[in-house]
Amino acid sequence: MQQIPALGLGTFRLKDQQVIDSVRNGLELGYRHIDTAQIYGNEAEVGQAIAESGVPRSELFVTTKVWTDNLGSDKLIPSLKESLRKLRLDQVDLTLIHWPSPNDEIQVAEYMAALMEAKAAGLTDKIGVSNFTNAHLQQAMEVVGADQIATHQVEIHPFLQNRKVVEFAQEHGIHLTAYMPLAYGKVISDTVIQGIAAGHAANPAQVALAWALQQGFAVIPSSTKRANLESNLGALNLTLSEQDMASIAKLERGERLANPGFAPKWD
């Protein structure tokens, strides 16, 4: 059973030829973890890029996420089958519940049970959650068991360190995936991060990614530029000092970038 690769390629906001190029470039550069979602509207293009890449399926780790419209027990599995059709895959490696049901109209127990059914049917190798509050995660664990939750994907970057959520997940042995790890590029202009980067002959994006990786998180930055995709891989070979980590810890300012109107009440 494949572990979640530490550095993946995010595809949020990438459409059409842009996402095809990004995934193709990423796979050529050595990325093997591709993250998409039903709501991104790009699963078919991601599937095309994967199919055309020639990379063996066994080397890839593909994640998709079930949208809130598809959380009902009658909709989740059909929607995942449609995702597989678009992705041109028989199975995804990981399926996440993208967001808790808005206003908890559908109970966590219903969609986590449906997700377990999808796993039992072989549609997905692993299951997990995304954007859950600690209360939602607690409910999910009660339904499927903490050992079944392969990851909790949440927004984590130096300006939103999401410590309550991180600590709760870690207490229960649940792995974390950090999305928007570069805070939409804002880390690049931060003087503290720039200073640390200069000390390591690295760039600020690599420092922000290394900060997350050193905490044991997977990261899924996205980029449309091949040079940036290549550069981000350098984070895997960068080791920050305790002092570096402590300096970045002080950058926390609760700056949440993904906060749609249907979001849960955050911890």
Please tell me which residue in 31, 40, 111, 179 is annotated as part of the active site. Answer: 40
Would you say 152 and 175 are in contact if contact means Cβ atoms under 8 Å apart?
A: yes
Rounded Cα gap, residues 247 and 257, in angstroms: 22
179 is catalytic: no
Residue 91 makes CB contacts below 8 A (sequence gap 6+) with: 84, 122, 123, 124, 125
In angstroms, rounded to a whole number, what is the distance separating the alpha carbons of residues 176 and 155? 10
Cα distance between residue 68 and residue 106, in whole Å:
9
Q: How far apart are CA 126 and CA 141, in angstroms?
A: 14
| Residue 73 near residue 108, CB atoms below 8 Å | no
Q: Alpha-carbon distance 146 to 95, whole Å? A: 15
Tokens of 72: 């009902």
Phi-psi label, residue 254: left if phi above 0, alpha if psi -120 to 50, beta otherwise: left
In this structure, which amino acid lies at residue 86? K
d(CA 199, CA 202): 8
Q: Which position has the token pair 């109209």?
A: 105
Q: Please give the C-alpha separations between residue 8 and each of 120, 130, 142, 169, 182, in angstroms, as whole numbers.
A: 25, 16, 29, 20, 13
Residues classed as catalytic: 40
